[in-house]
Amino acid sequence: MFNTGIGIITPRIMRTWKAYAEDRRGVAAVEFAMVAAPFFLLLFGLLEVCVLFIVSTIMEHAVADASRQIRTGQAQESGFNEQNFRTSVCDRLMDMLDCDAKLHIDVKSLDGFSSVKIDTPIDADGNFDDDGFTYDPGGPNEIVAVRIFYEWSLMTPLMTAPLANMEGSKYLVQANAVFRNEPFGD
């Protein structure tokens, strides 16, 4: 009878494979490696959404607080221009945002509350479009709309892709205040 040795090798391979399959050392490390990436991606995505909520809330407060100077006439009577108002808004953002490049401000005097437009100025290509942005704080008893926008770069684009409303994985954060100026200067 011709013996190829397969009969001898096969039980040996089976014993080695069985010993390898029963060995539980390192199971936790392998399971962690399989679960860690999705877990951390989900965790960082959740943190980014929380940070966006905080930034949005801080911007709303900054607009409401800085707009009070316009509403009461302090800005008009002291000769505030757009740069002064930008500085006033930035002082209230607690150094959380880059006020120079990514912050856009639009202040308009309106005919009535029905003519208020608080749409998002993003063109079809996903780029910010600030055409028509002005600084007109209005006079006594006039209706004024103050809008500020901030281009937020998303840190976890894979998880927060549904949030991106601009080109380059960015999200445009917007804060508005619409009010009638007080009868100042009388």
3-state secondary structure 102-152: CEEEEEEEECCHHHCCCCCCECCCCCECCCCCCECCCCCCCEEEEEEEEEE
Residue 15 lies in a domain: no
For 156, phi then psi, to 5°, come to -120, 75
Residue 18 lies in a domain: no
Domain range for 90: 26-180
**Residue 40 confidence (pLDDT) above 60:** yes
Residue 151 lies in a domain: yes
Q: Which pTM value belongs to this model?
A: 0.78
Q: Rg of the chain's alpha carbons, rounded to an integer?
A: 30
Residue 14 lies in a domain: no
Residue 97 lies in a domain: yes
Total domains, the chain: 1
pLDDT (0 to 100) of residue 5: 52
How sure is the predictor about 8, in pLDDT bands with cuts at 50, 70 and 90?
Answer: low
Output the average pLDDT for the chain.
87
Reading phi first (left if > 0) and then psi (alpha if -120 to 50, else beta), residue 142 is in: beta
Residue 8 lies in a domain: no
Residue 53 lies in a domain: yes
pLDDT (0 to 100) of residue 62: 95
Helix (H, G, I), strand (E, B) or coil at 43: helix
Residue 7 lies in a domain: no
Which residues have C-beta within 8 Å of that of residue 117, sequence separation ≥ 6?
145
pLDDT (0 to 100) of residue 90: 92
Under a CB-based contact definition with an 8 Å cutoff, are residues 107 and 137 in contact?
yes
